[in-house]
């Protein structure tokens, strides 16, 4: 890829089934390969681009007008843009918002993200819904002048999402501590949380900190002993990209956390890893759930929540429960939340150990705040777990 950007450049989006969409360059000029997926959010494009869970993917925005409000330093969910490529219908020619610091196409070009604009994203989305998410490539400028048969071969030679280990590529290199006092909390610290960064969004530790929890955010390769040395009252596994079947190291660490009685909460990738730690399998969804309007049923309350989601894999657990976990040492578990569009498992709750998880994003940036109560639920679990369990954790 190159850093030049000229919106008049010819651009092609090539899917692995041979479908080709033709448009104009958006962002950097060059080529990019990744899994084509669509996101249904009507707002929050900057948060989408900077969500590490999108690493390795070419994101199609179903909302037609993108870039209207520009970009700014405050709304980024991580240190950089992670998408492999970006597909929009009508890109804003000029941003118009008092918080805008630059245009989106300038930001894409500066971060070397190849995009395409001016294609029928509705038709593309309908195609992906029926054919499924698939390998794809964006080719702009000189790259788009090659024969389409050659471009299709490049796409088909690229790596599929299944089997990719990506959390280690997006995680932070060093431990970072987030203090409650820096996020509006003026009382005593209520507890200490170790958050394993598998592709965490910046809003997540902020949601804990503003509720009085000190957060030690640690890299994905942190060991169980290193976690225990931080004296946690709870442990958290974040969202993140890639195939959960590849995260064998993190699953073993999580099993150690559960055996030690440390209260656990997982989001998205963290939900999938809790499922695997309990002995359930995971599988790839046809086209995944991505957007800020996904309905989920909380089975414990009967409430329907509108949630923000970004995942292409799901936990394979029985909806009728409770059941004894396949790894029986962890006792009984039940599916706590279910997706109303397709009955996908959207949450797990352990009944004999202090652990639960959800597949969606309760921090919801951007998105609805229906599920923000989950942070309070976990803090209550952290502060109410008995001292015997904490002693097992090395406290």
Active site residues: 268, 361, 363
State the CB neighbour count (10 A cutoff) for residue 94.
Answer: 9
Q: To the nearest 10°, report the CA torsion of 308, 269, 379, 350.
A: 110
DSSP state of 220: T
Rounded Cα distance between 52 and 50, Å, is 6
For the CA atoms of 86, 91, 97, 100, what is the dihedral angle to 10 degrees?
40
What are the residues whose beta carbons fall under 8 Å from the beta carbon of 149, sequence distance 6 or more?
A: none
The DSSP-derived string for 253-270 is HHHHHHHTT--EEEETHH
Cα separation values, 165 from 104, 176, 198, 212, 252, Å: 29, 23, 11, 33, 16
């Amino acid at each position: 890829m190159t850093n030049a950007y000229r919106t008049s450049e010819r651009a092609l989006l090539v899917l692995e089934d041979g479908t080709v969409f033709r448009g104009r360059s958006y962002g950097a000029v060059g080529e990019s390969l990744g899994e084509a997926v669509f996101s249904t959010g009507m707002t929050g494009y900057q948060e989408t681009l900077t969500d590490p869970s999108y690493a390795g993917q070419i994101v199609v925005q179903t909302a037609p007008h993108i870039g209207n409000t520009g970009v700014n330093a405050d709304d980024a969910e991580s240190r950089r843009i992670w998408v492999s490529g970006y597909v929009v219908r009508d890109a804003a020619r000029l941003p118009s918002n008092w918080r805008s610091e630059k245009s989106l196409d300038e930001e894409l070009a500066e971060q070397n993200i190849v995009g395409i604009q001016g294609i029928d994203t509705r038709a593309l989305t309908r195609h992906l819904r029926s054919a499924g998410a698939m390998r794809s490539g964006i080719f702009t400028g000189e790259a788009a002048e090659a024969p389409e048969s050659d471009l299709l071969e490049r796409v088909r030679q690229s790596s599929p999402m299944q089997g990719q280990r990506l959390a280690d590529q997006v995680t932070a290199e060093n431990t970072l501590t987030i203090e409650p006092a820096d996020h509006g909390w003026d009382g005593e610290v209520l507890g200490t949380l170790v958050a394993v960064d598998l592709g965490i969004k910046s809003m997540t530790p902020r949601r804990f900190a503003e509720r009085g929890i000190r957060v030690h955010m640690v890299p994905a390769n942190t060991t169980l002993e290193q976690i225990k040395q931080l004296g946690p009252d709870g442990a958290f596994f974040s969202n993140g990209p890639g195939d959960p079947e590849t995260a064998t190291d993190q699953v073993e660490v999580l099993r150690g956390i559960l055996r030690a009685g440390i209260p656990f909460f997982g989001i998205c990738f963290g939900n999938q890893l809790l499922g695997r730690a309990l002995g359930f399998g995971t599988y790839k969804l046809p086209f995944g759930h991505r957007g800020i309007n996904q309905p989920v049923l909380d089975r414990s309350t009967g409430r329907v929540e509108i949630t923000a989601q970004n995942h292409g894999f799901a936990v394979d657990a029985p909806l009728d429960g409770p059941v004894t976990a396949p790894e029986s040492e962890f006792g009984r578990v039940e599916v706590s939340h279910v997706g109303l569009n397709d009955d996908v498992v959207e949450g797990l709750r352990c009944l004999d150990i202090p652990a639960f998880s959800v597949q969606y994003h309760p921090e919801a940036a951007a998105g609805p705040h229906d599920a923000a109560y989950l942070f309070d639920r976990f803090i209550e679990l952290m502060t109410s777990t008995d001292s015997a369990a904490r002693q097992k954790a090395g406290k």
